[in-house]
Amino acid sequence: MDTNIIWAEFSATLHRFIVSKVKDTPVADDLLQEVFVKIHLQKKTLQKKDRLKSWIYTIANNAVNDHFRKKQKDVVLLSHKKIVDTEETPKHNAQDCLLPLIKNLPDIYSEVLYLSEIKGYKQKEVAQQLNISLPATKSRILRGRDLLKKGFMDCCDYKLDAQGHLRGEQKNKADCKVCN
């Protein structure tokens, strides 16, 4: 199975398929190239040659879905960073540290915590918006909260009590390691 033959037979119809999904010809051109790179690299994995067309369209459909997932994720992250940079309150409190601490977490945790803790979305809504499973969302929120606790302990010298809750006094803004 030669990639040039596959290209000659399927590139035009595949391009129309991708354009119909993304509604943007330059993006469709890029996705078509990406699809054919995947086809070329993985053509040896196709076991039944009579299923070539469905295999190719599956790769194309997955590439389109990945494109929209990435685009949606970029929008969420952009709006997240914009809000983090623009919100200010005159008096310094734990809320002032929360946004910078979330922003400093790895993206995998900052996205879910931002949507659940700051925006107030339910975990199911966060899962749908980020297009991840509900168990993965719950796990990321729990791990992210643990990282936030550590962040508050490092930033503001909070301590954990016997029940695992943060205790301590809020520092002045000048003494805060995150806000200053």
Domains of the chain in start order, with CATH, are: 3-70 (1.10.1740), 87-175 (1.10.10.10)
pLDDT tens-place string over residues 60-89: 998 988 888 777 665 555 555 555 444 444
Which comes out higher in pLDDT, residue 129 or 71?
Answer: 129
Which residues, 6+ apart, have CB-to-CB distance to 130 below 8 Å? 72, 73, 76, 111, 112, 115, 137
Lowest mean pLDDT among 5-14, 21-30, 54-63, 81-90: 81-90
- Percentage of the chain modeled with pLDDT above 70: 76
Which comes out higher in pLDDT, residue 1 or 30?
Answer: 30
Distance, CA of 178 to CA of 156 (rounded, Å): 8
Mean pLDDT over the full length of the chain = 80
Helix (H) or strand (E) holding 36: helix 25-42
Question: Residue 111 pLDDT > 60, yes or no?
Answer: yes
pLDDT for residue 66: 86
CA distances (Å), origin 176, targets 163, 173, 179: 25, 5, 6
Question: Residue 24 pLDDT > 90, yes or no?
Answer: no
pLDDT tens-place string over residues 33-70: 999 888 888 888 887 778 889 889 999 998 988 888 77
pLDDT tens-place string over residues 130-179: 899 999 999 999 999 888 888 877 777 777 777 777 676 666 666 666 66
